Chain A
């Protein structure tokens, strides 16, 4: 390892290098990745905001770095960015809390 850290910002620039050890799969991935973010039924701007929210729920530093910059480039405002992250956070916390029903079911089953 060149760095003493698990995460190095400079590694983001090397993302494309993953094709070196598996060209076919790497190329297919990047083709797919590029296609996903093209303008489609959703605008590229909407897709960038989704990516920013998911980057946070995945807690991927590279993705947060990349999509913060990407959304800024698309003229997205700070308020829009933060709201997108709240959507991710709401789903994350909702996903935790909705499992509370499972816990309640189990308690109700076990208790007399």
Chain B
């Protein structure tokens, strides 16, 4: 079956209840052509397992890395990815869009 957004939130809750450390990433803003809409979720655990998507695969790796930081520090982060932003990030969106992703720990 396809992973719907509700499955992802359900997984976030289940994973946390199982005692795993969990972070939730949400697309909060997009400019230009972005593959996933505002509100799309990605859930990540402390071992780097993840479910869902924020970009259709382009930046998930970087988001997972940042999420591990957020899990460790407990502090939320706002990430930005896009072709116009090469200095900040090695990764970019091949579609030419820009996205902002909010990453927070599930406490």
Task: Report if A and B associate in a common complex.
Answer: no
